[in-house]
Amino acid sequence: MDCFEEDLVNALREIVNSSNWQCLGKKSNFKSQCTKVYSEDGEHIVLIRTEDDRFWAMDSSCPHEGGPLDLGDIEDLGNGKLALICPWHHFDFCLDTGESSTGLQNQIYEVRVVQDNVYINTQNALSLCPIPEINTVSLGKESLEDVKSTSTEDTLCYWATKILCTPDPKDKVMLTQEVLERWNSGKITEVGQAAPPAQPSRKDSLTVLEPGKIKRGKGGTQASRIALLHSLANIEQWAIDLSWDIIARFSSFTLSSGEPLPRQFFSDFVKVAGDEAKHYLLLERRITELGSYFGALPVHNGLWQSATDTSQDLLARLAIVHMVHEARGLDVHPQTLSRFAAQDDMSSVKVLEVIYSDEITHVAAGLKWFTYICSEEGRECLSTFHELVKQHFKGYLKPPFNTEGRKTAGMTEEWYVPLVKPSS
């Protein structure tokens, strides 16, 4: 009988081991509301324990711009369903379905508690500690050296660096508009060279918090609209800096042939900087009309991480910032627009429509120069893009995609569909 029981236990153990159920440990180990669980495929998971002692799980990276959902809050949105709130841009994800009121969809995982052990159903090995990453070789060229600025005020890079070091967003906007006019009119003729700061300056009065410490209001109120517009204004402030950073940081970039970047590269990103400055002003004005001001709410600086991660690789910068993050902005536009339209806030809708139209051209600019460099250096565009995204972007790209908006920018499905998580 003992032999029979041992054989049965071993057989059951083999069945469990061959299944997709991963044991995380004792239930008592998970006292926090959210616990990050690391997955071998890089698509990490957040384990959620609600006040009624139930467990849930979903991907820990927000499908919008990769915000850390493991640092989010749990809210009851009033329909009896609990949602996990992204700390970056306040998008909600239903614990039951992974659906968001913004139209986004996050991957959820089945969770069971058996004999006080917590199990998650996934085919990938999980760990409560970070899994060491395998070193990979960058596809891009580390062509930028630490060059001290030798540029005068007659060069584009001098002003790019000056704008990056300007903390007040209104001053940043004013300088951007001035440089845009001077560059387009030919008053500034040389690109020059400069080493930009590691991170742009910000006003001392601006409260910059860790992403998980930024709270949000309830949906469907003017306060929530102000909070979302404030988040978007923060994005635009960083977007201004990203445009000037790519100009200054890669001013000395040379192709494998030894040729520098064409002048049109810099003209395109001066235009992008001007657009982002315009967007900030539109949003800041709308926030003021609603009775608040930029800086009234805390902001986060998580958006600069992509710039830091791609600071030595121009192809990676174009791929991640302009062809992943900015393209994601196109994806969420219809749902964001509908949230304001549902509250009859047509003034904000008009602002968002202007931003959307411009952002299509920004994705197009990233795609244009990514394909240009690949072509000049004999690289295959699609495979290079896919490898760079896998290397520099955490996790998979997630639907829904704004197929029409992406197509208008020139980004057809073969660019991004292969980067979607394959079905189990």
Residue 182 burial (CB < 10 Å; 0-12/13-18/19+)?
A: middle
The pLDDT tens digits for 271-311 are: 999 999 999 999 999 999 999 999 998 888 777 888 999 99
Cβ atoms within 10 Å of 413's Cβ, excluding its own: 12
Enumerate domains of the chain plus CATH numbers.
2-127 (2.102.10.10), 156-419 (no CATH)
pLDDT for 77 equals 72
Predicted structure pTM score: 0.74
- Among the residue ranges 124-128, 200-204, 254-258, 296-300, the one predicted with the least confidence is 124-128
pLDDT for 147 equals 35
Residue scoring higher pLDDT (137 or 128): 128
Task: Band the pLDDT of 14: cuts 50, 70, 90.
Answer: low
Three-state secondary structure readout of the chain: CHHHHHHHHHHHHHHHHHCCEEEEEEHHHCCCCEEEEEECCCCCEEEEECCCCCEEEEECECCCCCCEHHHCEEEECCCCCEEEECCCCCCEEECCCCECCCCCECCEECEEEECCEEEEECCCCEECCCCCCCCCCCCCCCCCCCCCCCCCCCEHHHHHHHHHCCCCHHHHHHHHHHHHHHHHHCCCCECCCCCCCCCCCCCCCCCECCHHHCCCCCCCCHHHHHHHHHHHHHHHHHHHHHHHHHHHHCCCCECCCCCECCHHHHHHHHHHHHHHHHHHHHHHHHHHHCCCCCCCCCECCHHHHHHHHCCCCHHHHHHHHHHHHHHHHHHHHHHHHHHHHHCCCHHHHHHHHHHHHHHHHHHHHHHHHHHHHHHHCCCCHHHHHHHHHHHHCCCCECCCCCHHHHHHCCCCHHHHHHHECCCC
pLDDT for 210 equals 58
Task: Band the pLDDT of 17: cuts 50, 70, 90.
Answer: low
Residue scoring higher pLDDT (203 or 412): 412
* Average pLDDT value for residue range 257-265: 96
Q: Above pLDDT 90, what percent of the chain?
A: 53
Task: Band the pLDDT of 7: cuts 50, 70, 90.
Answer: low
pLDDT for 2 equals 54
- Among the residue ranges 12-21, 68-77, 117-126, 332-341, the one predicted with the least confidence is 12-21
Dihedral sign of CA atoms 149, 152, 155, 158 in order = positive
* Average pLDDT value for residue range 376-401: 93
pLDDT for 214 equals 54
pLDDT for 19 equals 66
pLDDT for 266 equals 98
pLDDT for 142 equals 32
151 pLDDT higher than 70: no
374 pLDDT higher than 50: yes
pLDDT for 139 equals 34
Q: Above pLDDT 70, what percent of the chain?
A: 86
The pLDDT tens digits for 153-182 are: 689 999 999 999 999 999 999 999 999 999
* Average pLDDT value for residue range 243-268: 96
424 pLDDT higher than 70: no
* Average pLDDT value for residue range 172-194: 96
13 pLDDT higher than 90: no
Average pLDDT of the residues of the chain: 86
pLDDT for 16 equals 53
143 pLDDT higher than 50: no
pLDDT for 144 equals 31
* Average pLDDT value for residue range 366-390: 97
pLDDT for 124 equals 81
Residue scoring higher pLDDT (170 or 139): 170
pLDDT for 161 equals 95
First and final C-alpha spacing in the chain = 39
pLDDT for 382 equals 98
Q: Which residues pair with 74 in a beta bridge?
A: 84
Cβ atoms within 10 Å of 96's Cβ, excluding its own: 12
Highest mean pLDDT among 215-219, 309-313, 395-399: 309-313
Highest mean pLDDT among 74-78, 203-207, 248-252: 248-252
